[in-house]
Amino acid sequence: MPELPEVETIIRGLEEGVRGRTFLDAWTDSKTLFKNISFEGLREKIKGKKIKGIRRRGKNILFDLSDSSVLLIHQKITGHLLLGKWQKQGKEWASKTKGALSLDPANRFLRVIFFLSGGLDMALSDLRKFAKIELWEGEDLEEYFKSFGPEPLTIAFEEFKKLFSSKKGKIKQILMDQRFIVGIGNIYASEILWEAKISPFRDAGKIKQEELKRIYSAIKKILKKAIKLQGDSFSDFRTISGQKGRYQNFAKVYQKEGEQCPECGGKIKRIKQGGRSSFFCPSCQK
């Protein structure tokens, strides 16, 4: 699933590409992706509306529209947004843009296309059809986000420390809880804890302040690095131009089972934890 760096990468590309453009029409072959409104209802409501801005809350992409409504897209496990131009060829959509958009197989699972002013299309490619698209009024959306945790790139250390004051559970699973702190998933939780030299199996409530400082610093460092590298494309994620991110080329432990730890030379292990794979170095991470 795209995590904060992947979503932020998409946001930054969209900000440059679609801000100020108007929705002209939309197409879908997957009406089940539309959750709090039907596809037909959303299509009619966004027609003629201008995109005033694009922002992120956790892993959600938010389009602020000219009528004060907000289009929400959550890319989920295999979804990613693309910018380009597509044309119908028989029953399929073909990219008119050369390069990764047309050549990379991960970009061919088009489920939704938004046709924008200025001859640009915004498409959602989603192999497994798990993405979510909703239309909200601003006040209702703010109420919805009240259950979300703080943003990891802007939270101060004192606030971060308070989050742990009465928290129970294993630290890796806590970091992945979107009610605790948003945007961190399996990839970056593993990378952050390796950077901080903390075992993913430690009890969150027993972590000392100096260790919390290491986790806090690691969160900032790893997420910022991943954003700079345009996310991780070990699996399905692609940028808006259809290209792979590069973080997977620099990962220290994620999907590195059996390889040498770059810090101590020990063997990286993978163990199931809460239904997910935890990658860690048992020698370095205590």
Instruction: Return the pLDDT at 60.
Output: 98
Please tell me which residue in 2, 5, 152, 200 is annotated as part of the active site. Answer: 2
Instruction: Return the pLDDT at 166.
Output: 83
Please tell me which residue in 59, 111, 197, 252 is annotated as part of the active site. Answer: 59
Q: Choose the final residue of a domain: 147, 181, 205.
A: 147
Active site residue 134: no
Which residues constitute the domain of residue 165? 157-280
Whether residue 46 is contained in a domain is answered as yes
Instruction: Return the pLDDT at 124.
Output: 98
Whether residue 235 is contained in a domain is answered as yes
Active site residue 21: no
Active site residue 3: yes
pLDDT, tens digit (0-9, with 9 covering 90-100), for 193-205: 999 999 999 999 9
Contact 282, 202 (CB under 8 A): no
pLDDT, tens digit (0-9, with 9 covering 90-100), for 12-50: 999 999 999 999 999 999 999 999 999 999 999 999 999
Instruction: Return the pLDDT at 184.
Output: 98
Residues of the chain whose pLDDT is less than 70? Answer: none
pTM, to two decimals: 0.96
Whether residue 285 is contained in a domain is answered as no
Please tell me which residue in 76, 129, 267, 276 is annotated as part of the active site. Answer: 276
CATH, residue 225:
1.10.8.50
Amino acid at 189: A
Please tell me which residue in 3, 6, 8, 134 is annotated as part of the active site. Answer: 3
Instruction: Return the pLDDT at 97.
Output: 86
Residues 202 and 130 in one domain: no
Active site residue 59: yes
CATH, residue 42:
3.20.190.10
Question: Which token pair is 183?
Answer: 């945007």
What pairs with residue 270 in β-bridges?
279
CA distance 195 to 280: 10
Residues 64 and 115 in one domain: yes
Residues 130 and 260 in one domain: no
Closest CA to 214 of 140, 125, 285: 285
Angle of CA points 131, 46, 92, to nearest 5°: 55
Residues 60 and 190 in one domain: no
